[in-house]
Amino acid sequence: MTKVKILALLVGMMTLLSVPALVMAQQPQLPHLFAGAATGTEVTAFVDAAQVASATIDGGNYVITVDPGTSNWTDKAISFNIDGEATVESGTFVHGEATELDLTTGAVAVEDTEPTTAPEVSLPTVSIPGPVGADGARGSTGADGASGPTGPSGNDGADGATGASGSSGPAGADGASGPAGGAGPAGGAGPAGAPGEAGADGSDGSNMLGIVALILAIVAVAGAGGVYALTRRS
């Protein structure tokens, strides 16, 4: 049982030690820069017979960057071509190095001349992006913006339901009496009354009173007839 525990512990330690290597293998690796003199139009670089970089020859000089990406190319052989023809010179890949290397092809005749100093080549600075950092803290909320313009008026709403009827108000005061109507026609004369008993003979003054009384009686009957007629009309 103790041996099993020791073996399990060793396996766990080996696994932990292999994690950083796997993480490093997935990170971008540093390139190798080559620069120098060359005659032609274009320089191409090859690793394991596969083209990995190219550069234009400008003014008799070239600068080419061999970038391995996330691969480890330590001590890999690098061969070069000028316009498709292999060069005599080659290089060895070293991460993060910059090498000055003049390139020639077999077609170039080598003249027995005095050695010349190779032109100085300014090697550019190679910037390798590091891993992306963690997100920064969230900034504070900005101030409220200005109010926007007032929007157009909305459509009229639907008519509301009819309200309940109100309570009846108090009765109004009586109106003024209208003008009296015109007198109606006189009613017909009533039947003559039964003759009264004959009065005693009086003086002439008594006869005059009797005539006046008869006239008043006729007027009273006529007035009664007029009232009756008015009552019927109303």
222: Cβ contacts below 8 Å, ≥ 6 apart: 186, 187
Q: What percent of the chain lies above the pLDDT cut of 70?
A: 63
pLDDT band at 151 (very low <50, low <70, confident <90, very high): confident
Can you give the pTM of this predicted structure? 0.39
Measuring CA to CA, which residue among 33, 46, 156, 51 is closest to residue 90? 46
What is the torsional sign of CA 223, 226, 231, 234? negative
Alpha-carbon distance of 86 to 79, in angstroms, equals 8
53: Cβ contacts below 8 Å, ≥ 6 apart: 44, 45, 64, 65, 66, 67
Least confident of 28-32, 159-163, 188-192: 188-192
More confident residue, 30 or 152: 30
Question: Would you list the domain boundaries of the chain?
Answer: 32-100, 203-234
Burial of 13 (0-12, 13-18, 19+ CB in 10 A): exposed
Question: CA separation (Å) from 61 to 14, 39, 80, 100, 165?
Answer: 49, 8, 14, 11, 105
Alpha-carbon distance of 21 to 49, in angstroms, equals 27
- Topology classification of domain 32-100: Immunoglobulin-like (2.60.40)
Mean pLDDT of 165-179: 76
More confident residue, 92 or 133: 92
What is the torsional sign of CA 181, 183, 189, 195? positive
Residue-wise over 80-108: b if at least 16 C-beta within 10 A, else e? bbbeeeebebebebeeeebbebbbbbeee
